[in-house]
Chains A and B, each alone.
Chain A
Amino acid sequence: MIEVNALTRKYGPFTAVDDVTFSCEPGRVTGFLGPNGAGKTTTMRIMVGLTPPTSGRATIGGHLYRDIPNPGRHVGVLLDAGAQHAGRTGREILTIGAKTMGLPASRVDEMLEMVSLDDTEANRRLRNYSLGMKQRLGIAHALLGDPEVLILDEPANGLDPAGIRWMRDLLTGYARRGGTVLLSSHLLNEVELIADNLVLIGRGKIVAQGDKKTLRSLDSTVSSLVDALDRDALVKGLESDGYTVTPDGTCFRVNASTADVGRSALEHLVVLTDLRDGAMGLEDLFLDLTADTQRDGAAASMPPAVPAHAAQATSEGAHR
């Protein structure tokens, strides 16, 4: 539904978006994840025609955004919930959007109700809104035209946990009805809760993409965390079986599956006090994947790239 193809945007010598390619499928929520300044916003701005690309293209439903007539009826966009006239009321902001799209005034009330902004709040000026209220209003604005596609930049920013849950229910419901959602965030936890697919970006380059399971399996190194009553016996036993043991926090990290560690402990008659999977979580993975785009020389710690439609390791120091 959303196709981004070899998209590049340069500002002088700085490459904000570097050969970015990914797509978003209908019926799924795609999370666009990356640290601040990674190029998420620029990519989204190019998608909706606010910023011209240096090369490459982005299409929505097969069209360039500017070729979509009355685009608000097809693509709901929220780039910055604060980018509204501070002196207008929430209701007036939605009314202007509805009038531009040619929607009846009743649609404004429906949307206000959907995002739980009551009458008093809707008649308050935007400068008196909390960040969470602005986000709700922004979501309402994006959904005004009943679009097939939603493009949301940091929509969960400023929402409390209940708000994030509300948004998750709203967006997953929207995707289940066949909608396409692309939302960005710099917080993994936020995106992990809401998104089905993830696209990871660092310093303008896509570092990995795929569904959450695929991304977790990116960490192909098997490892376990283990501890025992008799630590010397544990280490000696594991090493005699040919495994590498390194201290990790209060226990040891072993390059073996939990089953293999258990078997080794059984053979050497060691009593285990702790044994768990030491694979990295998505968060570690995220930090690791974007690490080499943050500091040079970390490329060695990169997990291998996943084949097929997924991860691509970036070469270090490609920028600046």
Chain B
Amino acid sequence: MSTHAAERATIDVSQTAPVPFGRLVKVEWRKMIDTRSGFWLLTITAILLVFAAAISLLVVALNDGITMSAGAWSQTMSIPLQILLPAIAILTVTSEWSQRTGLVTFTLVPHRMQLIGAKAAAVFLLAVATIVLAIGLGAIGNIVAAQIGGYDATWNLTAYELFASVVVQLLFFFMAFGIGMALLNTPGAIAVYYIAALLLPIMVYSTLMAFFGWAESLIPWFDITYSTVPFLETNPDISGTDVAKLVTSVVIWVVLPIAIGTRRVLTSEPK
């Protein structure tokens, strides 16, 4: 009796395989796109991509002598990606708290570092997949525009440019991801991200930099939009200061939020 009871009082886990990391990434990927918010963010981004392509084609078609290179196409097409998709990177983290799904997620996988990794991998895949899609659309646009405009398509997009634009895109996605982890609150994280990544650079910094010399030298130290500009040139002429500016801005907006956020995700109790 006692041996039987003892057998039943313990669980034999030796035959159970741990949840493989690849499976977690797949699940996190699914969770990013299976909700209405995920679906609409992707759908509207796709519509914006088509719009961007259509407007570019229209401009080429209606204006004689205007041509667009592959580099111009890839830059145009990557703009729509920056507008809405970082919200998905935020939601993948914050929804575990705001929708309280963390209760289930962290119970099924009681290793939060693994989950952070899986979410980061899913965000990485989303960023890369959408960039590839955007550049692919850009390539088609380049061919069609050359046909309409009656010029030879220029394929001037170097491997370096491609690499640099992918990295910059990833920086913004992981800035969003880090802010999401640091705040663990959907509206807060979305507000902070869009103010810091879109609103300030476009509405405020651009004006300041146009009028004041000190702003032009100061702002790239803490703003990724401007600190990455020298790296996105076709023939970049990068100084040590440019690298230092990139590093500080990335530390402020990507490294720090991810570091603080990782600590918060590991220690906070999802209620």
Contacts and interface: CB of A to CB of B under 8 A. Distances in A.
State yes or no: do A and B come from one complex.
yes
Interface of A: 1, 25-27, 45, 48-51, 60-63, 65-74, 77, 79-80, 82-88, 92, 96-97, 99-102, 141, 148-149, 178
A70 B31 CA distance: 19
A208 B233 CA distance: 74
B213 interface: no
A84 B99 contact: yes
B11 A62 contact: yes
28 contacts: A1-B11, A26-B8, A45-B269, A49-B106, A50-B103, A61-B9, A61-B13, A62-B10, A63-B13, A69-B16, A70-B17, A70-B18, A82-B100, A83-B99, A83-B100, A83-B102, A85-B35, A85-B99, A87-B37, A87-B99, A96-B31, A96-B34, A99-B27, A100-B108, A101-B108, A141-B104, A149-B11, A178-B8
A83 to B, nearest CB: 4
Contacts of A70: 16-19
A66 B17 CA distance: 14
B16 A74 contact: yes
Minimum-distance CB pairs A-B, first 6: A61-B11, A83-B100, A62-B10, A69-B18, A83-B103, A66-B110
Interface in B35-49: 35-37
B264 interface: no
Interface in B90-107: 95, 99-104, 106-107
A50 B270 contact: yes
A92 B34 contact: yes
Contacts of B37: 87
Contacts of A72: 107-108
A50 B103 CA distance: 8
Contacts of B10: 61-63
Interface in B1-60: 8-11, 13, 16-19, 23-24, 26-27, 30-31, 34-37
A49 B108 contact: no
B2 to A, nearest CB: 13
Interface residues on B, range: 20 to 34
A316 B37 CA distance: 51
Contacts of B16: 68-70, 73-74
Contacts of B23: 99-100, 102
A1 B5 CA distance: 10
Chain A contact residues, majority secondary structure: loop
Nearest to A11: B269
A69 B107 contact: no
B109 interface: yes
Contacts of A45: 269
A208 to B, nearest CB: 23
Q: Which of A1, A70, A77 has the most CB of B within 10 A?
A: A70
Nearest to B12: A61
A99 B19 contact: no
Contact of A71 (B17, B95, B108, B270): B108
A83 B9 CA distance: 30
B263 interface: no
Q: Which of A45, A49, A51, A96 has the most CB of B within 10 A?
A: A96
A262 to B, nearest CB: 43
A62 B13 CA distance: 10
Nearest to A86: B99
A257 B201 CA distance: 86
Given A62-B10, A63-B13, 15 more contacts: A27-B8, A50-B103, A66-B110, A67-B13, A68-B13, A68-B110, A69-B18, A74-B13, A77-B104, A80-B103, A82-B100, A83-B104, A85-B99, A96-B34, A178-B8
Contacts of B36: 87
A297 B84 CA distance: 61
Interface in B221-271: 269-270
Contact of A60 (B11, B30, B100): B11
